[in-house]
């Protein structure tokens, strides 16, 4: 990128798939080197302490990387639309609850309002799913969103197809490539990845 060229602005939203937050955070840090990033948090992601870490510490780490305070309320998120704030928005991780609300047009939380406000401007929304029931109760929601204009997915696969056969998780390492494709109005392919746990085990055995 030319030094005089303005960086694209990305909204980066975290939902409460707590076990995948660290992987998403790593990809956000990489994107922050190339884009101007505005963090967005769901109500649970910004308030719940879990065995994976304390919410306040995680929010602070994200804000430090992005160099700005996070968007954490419906009122703040609503302004994204009229300000045309983001060139693209990413929801990573996107829980089954958020997938369902996006599919049904429900905007009762910060992340879903941010997505609605952003999509009104006809700009890409990229979703990195992480849900234990994505291949059961959540499958119809993924199918509905795949068909929507300006909505794209980070390619995903079964993270543990034997212990959790209905679970799907994005391959977070493909976030940057999926974002570039979304800017071109293309879905990064292949969308469906080989089961992620099995792939990692195969790589380990080959090493």
The dihedral built from the CA positions of residue 111, 114, 118 and 120, taken in this order, carries a sign that is positive
Q: Write the pLDDT tens digit of every residue in 30-81.
A: 999 999 999 999 999 999 999 999 999 999 999 999 999 999 999 999 999 9
Rounded CA-CA distance 165/108 in Å is 30
Helix (H, G, I), strand (E, B) or coil at 176: helix
pLDDT over 60 at 4, yes or no: no
In a domain, 3, yes or no: no
Backbone angles phi, psi at 40, to 5 degrees: -135, 140
Total domains in the fold of the chain: 1
Backbone angles phi, psi at 46, to 5 degrees: -95, -5
Q: What is the CATH number of the domain that holds 115?
A: 3.40.50.1950
* pLDDT given at position 195: 85
* pLDDT given at position 207: 35
DSSP single-letter state for residue 155: -
* pLDDT given at position 99: 98
Q: Which residues, other chains included, contact 136 with Cβ-Cβ below 8 Å and sequence gap of 6+?
A: 166
DSSP 63-99: HHHHTSPPB-SHHHHHTHHHHT--SEEEEEEE-HHHH
In a domain, 1, yes or no: no
Rounded to two decimals, what is the model's pTM?
0.93
* pLDDT given at position 1: 46
In a domain, 150, yes or no: yes
* pLDDT given at position 97: 98
Helix (H, G, I), strand (E, B) or coil at 163: coil
Largest interatomic CA distance in the chain:
52
Task: Please name every residue paired with 50 in a beta bridge, in sequence order, or none if there are none.
Answer: 53
pLDDT over 50 at 138, yes or no: yes
Rounded CA-CA distance 145/50 in Å is 30
Q: Write the pLDDT tens digit of every residue in 147-201.
A: 999 999 999 999 999 999 999 999 999 999 999 999 999 999 999 998 887 666 6
Q: Write the pLDDT tens digit of every residue in 76-94.
A: 999 999 999 999 999 999 9
Q: Assess whether the previous peptide bond of 86 is cis (omega < 30° from 0).
A: no
In a domain, 181, yes or no: yes
In a domain, 81, yes or no: yes
In a domain, 121, yes or no: yes
Retrieve residue 47's tokens. Answer: 């308030």
Q: Write the pLDDT tens digit of every residue in 102-131.
A: 999 999 999 999 999 999 999 999 999 999
Contact 129, 99 (CB under 8 A): yes
* pLDDT given at position 205: 35
In a domain, 2, yes or no: no
Residue whose C-alpha is closest to residue 38's, from 4, 88, 106, 82 = 88
In a domain, 4, yes or no: no
Domain that holds residue 107: 9-206
DSSP single-letter state for residue 173: G
């Amino acid at each position: 990128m030319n030094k005089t060229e303005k960086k694209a602005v990305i909204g980066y939203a975290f939902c409460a798939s707590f076990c995948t937050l660290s992987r998403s955070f790593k990809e956000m840090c990489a994107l922050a080197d190339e884009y101007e990033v505005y963090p967005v948090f769901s109500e649970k992601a910004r308030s719940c302490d879990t065995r994976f870490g304390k919410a306040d510490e995680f929010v602070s780490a994200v804000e430090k990387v992005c160099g700005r305070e996070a968007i954490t309320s419906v009122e703040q998120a609503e302004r994204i639309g009229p300000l045309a704030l983001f060139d693209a928005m990413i929801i990573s991780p996107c829980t089954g609850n958020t997938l369902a609300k996006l599919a049904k047009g429900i905007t009762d939380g910060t992340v879903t309002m941010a997505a609605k406000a952003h999509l009104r401007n006809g700009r890409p929304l990229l979703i990195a799913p992480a849900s234990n029931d994505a291949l059961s109760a959540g499958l119809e929601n993924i199918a509905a969103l795949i068909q929507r204009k300006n909505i794209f997915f980070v390619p995903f696969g079964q993270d543990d197809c034997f212990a959790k056969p209905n679970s799907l998780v994005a391959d977070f390492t493909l976030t940057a490539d999926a974002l570039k494709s979304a800017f071109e109005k293309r879905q990064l392919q292949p969308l469906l990845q080989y089961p992620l746990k099995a792939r990692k085990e195969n790589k380990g055995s080959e090493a």
